[in-house]
A and B are shown apart, each in its own frame.
Chain A
Amino acid sequence: MGKIIVGRYLPGNSLIHRLDPRAKFIATFIFVAIIFLANNWATYLALGLFVLWAVYLSKVSLTFFIKGVRPMLFLILFTVALQIFFTPGGNPFWQWGILSLSKLSIINGIFILLRFTLIIFISTLLTITTTPLQMSDAIEYLLRPLRKIHFPVDEVALMLSIALQFIPLLSDETTKIMNAQRARGVDFGEGNIIKQIKAIVPILIPLFVSSFNIAYDLSIAMEARGYNGSAGRTKYRQLHWQKPDTLVLTSFGLLTIILLILRSY
C-alpha cells in the first residue's frame, strides 16, 4: 500500500514541469558551474533573483525548497563557521589563536551560505518537477556519446527504468513480509542490538527470495516478448526539445554574461 515517490517528485503542469528533462539537467549543471563566478553582492543578488524567478515559475510552494535545505543544515553551518573563523587576512576585530573574525570573513561566510542554499534550491527544482522516468531518459540521452567506447548505454537505461519502477512493488513486499513476521511474534525496534539484527534476518531472506523471483519472472516475460539485447531496437519514448527548452538554455547563457560583467565591479 506504500506510495513511495522517488526523488520527491511533485506532480504539476507548470512551465518548468513541461520542460524537456535534458534541458533541466543541462541547466542544473550550468548553474552549479557558474555559481563559482559569483564573488560580490551584485552577482549573488542576480543569481538569487534568477532562482526565485525559476521557483515562482514552477508553481511549487517555497516551503518545499526550504525543507530541502533542512537535512543539509548542519553541514552548511559547519562549513560557514569554518569559513568565518579560519579565513585569515582583512582587519580582524577579534582574534584568539588561529581563530579570527573580520568583516571579510563574515562576508565570505554569508556568500558560502548563499552558494549552498542556491545549489540546493536549483537541484530541488530539478527533482521536484521531473519524474524519475524523465530523469532516466535524460541520463540515457546525455550518456549517448559513451556508446562510442562500447559502454552499454541502452541496457543501463533500461535497467535504471525497470529498477525505478519496481521500487514501489518491493516496498509493498517489505511491508507484507514485515507484517507476516510481526504476526508470528517478531518485535522490530525492541531489545538490544543483537536482538534487533536477528529480527532483520526473517525480513531480508524473504525479501531477497522475492526480489529474485520477480527478477526471474520479469526476465522470462521480457524474453517471451522478444527482448534480445538492444541491437535493432527502436524507441517508443521520445524526448521533445522545444522552443522553451532553447530559451531556458539561452537565459542561462545570459545569466553567465551578466555574472561576468557584475563580478568585475
Chain B
Amino acid sequence: MDVDYGEIMKTLIDLKNVTYTYDEMKVPALSDINLRILAHTWVAVVGVNGSGKSTLARLLNGLLTADSGDIIIDGMALTADSVWDIRKKVGIIFQNPDHQFVGATVEDDVAFGLENLGIPRDQMVELVNWALEQVNMLEFAHKAPQTLSGGQKQRVAIAGVIATRPQIIIMDESTSMLDPQGRQDIMKIMQYLQSELGITILSITHDMTEVIHADQVVVLKEGQIIQSGSVEQIFANPKELAKLGLNPPFTQQVQLELIKQGIDIDSKYLSEQEMVDELWQLYSKM
C-alpha cells in the first residue's frame, strides 16, 4: 500500500474532446470535454443537476461509451476491448446506498467484485477482511444490509470497491442521502484512502464544505467544462458561480455580505482561518 511518490505528477485520467449524447436527445449531455487529472489528487466536480456530472462519471469506467473523443486511463485507451480492464482501475460509489448492495450480507457484498475477477477464495477472504478493516466495518461482516444505516451501507460500498484495488474512485453524490454524521464518516474514510493508499478521488458533489478541501475543482455547465482549477482560482470570482446556481463556500458568503455592507475586505477565497485573521486585523486596527 505504499504510495509511489515518483509517480505523483503522473496524469492518470486524460479526456480529449469527449462528446456524449443520450439516445433521443437533441443536445449532447457532454460536449467536447478536455480534462486532465493527476494521480493521487482529489478532484471535485460541481454543477447544477443536469449539467452532465453523472454522465462524466459513467463515461470514465465505460458504463457509457463516448460518441467521439478519447478517454485514457492510466495510459490505457478506453475501448470495447479494454473496458473490463479499465473497470479494474476505476471504482464508482453511487448515490443511493440501498440500490448498490448486491450481496446478501456485508462480506458477500464486498466479495462481489472479487468474484467477478475470478480471485481464488483464500485470497478473497483476506481481501474482504482487509477492505472491511479500512472502512471500520469488520465487526459487521455477517450482517444483512437492512440492519445497517445509510452511512454504514456506503462504507460497505467503499470496501467493495477498494477490495479490487482500483487506482481511481468516483463518488457520484455518494454522501447526498446521508445524515451529517454519515457524511463525516465517509469523508474521513475517503481522505484516508487518498493519503494512505494513494487513491485518486473524483467526487461529484453539491457540498461546498467538501469542495473546499479538493486539489482541483471542475465546474460543469450544460455539458461543458467552464472552469477548472484550484479552490482559490475557482472561487476568485464568486458572483459568476452564484449565477450558475452554485453556492459559494460559507466564508465567501460572509465576505460578499460584508463587502455589500461596506466593509473593506477582499472577495478572493479565504479559508476559515485566513478569514478570522483578516477580520481580526481589521478589528485591531480600529
Contact = CB atoms under 8 A, between A and B. Distances in A.
Is any CB of A less than 8 Å from a CB of B in the complex? Answer: yes
A236 B84 CA distance: 21
A207 to B, nearest CB: 15
Contact of B121 (A161, A162, A227, A236): A236
Contacts of B91: 224-225
Interface residues of B, number: 40
B249 interface: no
Interface in A123-141: 133
B160 A225 contact: yes
Given A161-B104, A165-B145, A235-B115, A221 B124 contact: no
Contacts of A162: 102
Contact of B87 (A161, A226, A232, A238): A226
A228 B92 CA distance: 16
Contacts of A164: 104
A32 interface: no
B115 A133 contact: no
B14 interface: no
B235 interface: no
Given A225-B161, A226-B164, A232 B118 contact: yes
A213 B99 contact: yes
Main secondary structure of the interface of A (DSSP, over half): helix
Contact of A169 (B98, B111, B115): B98
A220 B94 contact: yes
Contact of B113 (A213, A226, A235, A238): A226
Interface string A158-178: 000110110011000000000
Interface string A202-231: 000000000001100110111111111000
A5 to B, nearest CB: 11
B146 A234 contact: no
Contacts of B111: 236
B94 A225 contact: no
Contacts of A148: none
A217 B113 contact: no
Interface residues of A, number: 28
Most B CB atoms within 10 A — which of A3, A221, A222? A221
B114 interface: yes
Interface string A64-95: 00000000000000000000000000000000
B140 interface: no
A240 interface: no
Contacts of B160: 225
Contact of A226 (B88, B99, B120, B146): B88
Interface string B128-153: 10000000000000001110000000
Given A165-B145, A225-B116, A226-B88, 17 more contacts: A133-B105, A217-B99, A218-B99, A220-B63, A224-B87, A225-B160, A226-B116, A226-B117, A227-B112, A228-B84, A233-B118, A234-B115, A234-B120, A234-B121, A236-B107, A236-B114, A236-B124
Interface of B: 58, 61, 63, 84, 87-88, 91-92, 94, 96, 98-105, 107-108, 111-121, 124-125, 128, 144-146, 160-161, 164
13 contacts: A164-B104, A165-B145, A168-B146, A217-B94, A220-B94, A222-B112, A225-B161, A228-B84, A233-B115, A235-B121, A236-B107, A236-B115, A236-B128
